[in-house]
Amino acid sequence: MELNPMKKLVLLLASFCLMTAASAAYKDGTYEGQGDGNHGKIDVSVVIKGGKIADIKVLKHTETDMIIQAPIDNMIPEIIKKNGTKGVETIAGATNSSKGILAGVNAALAKAQ
């Protein structure tokens, strides 16, 4: 069974898109980013190894320690697992701290592309 030229083109483009998405990766290195928390800036460091997020650390913040700990403990492992912030939810009761971490990670990842 032979495919018509239009179907061949669609299949070719779909294959190319899948290969491009699969090969898209971050550049290895350590990148820093900053986001706005509830009480000021939140500085983060993102380590990329093998094109994927290997580690994230909060370097500096002025948040209440008890408040920011929940996003650190819950969001950071999820960001690492998902290899990005897409679909990562903020933590109730620590929304602004969560948003600051997400913004900082996104800023760092932008440098890694």
Q: To the nearest whole number, what is the mean pLDDT of the chain?
A: 87
pTM given for the model: 0.79
CA angle (113 as vertex; 54, 10 as ends), nearest 5: 110
Sketch out the chain's domains with CATH numbers: 26-111 (3.90.1010.20)
Q: How large a percentage of the chain has pLDDT more than 70?
A: 79
Where residue 17 falls among pLDDT bands split at 50, 70, 90? very low
Burial class (CB in 10 A: 0-12, 13-18, 19+), 102: buried
Find the mean pLDDT for residues 11-38.
Answer: 71
pLDDT value at residue 49? 97
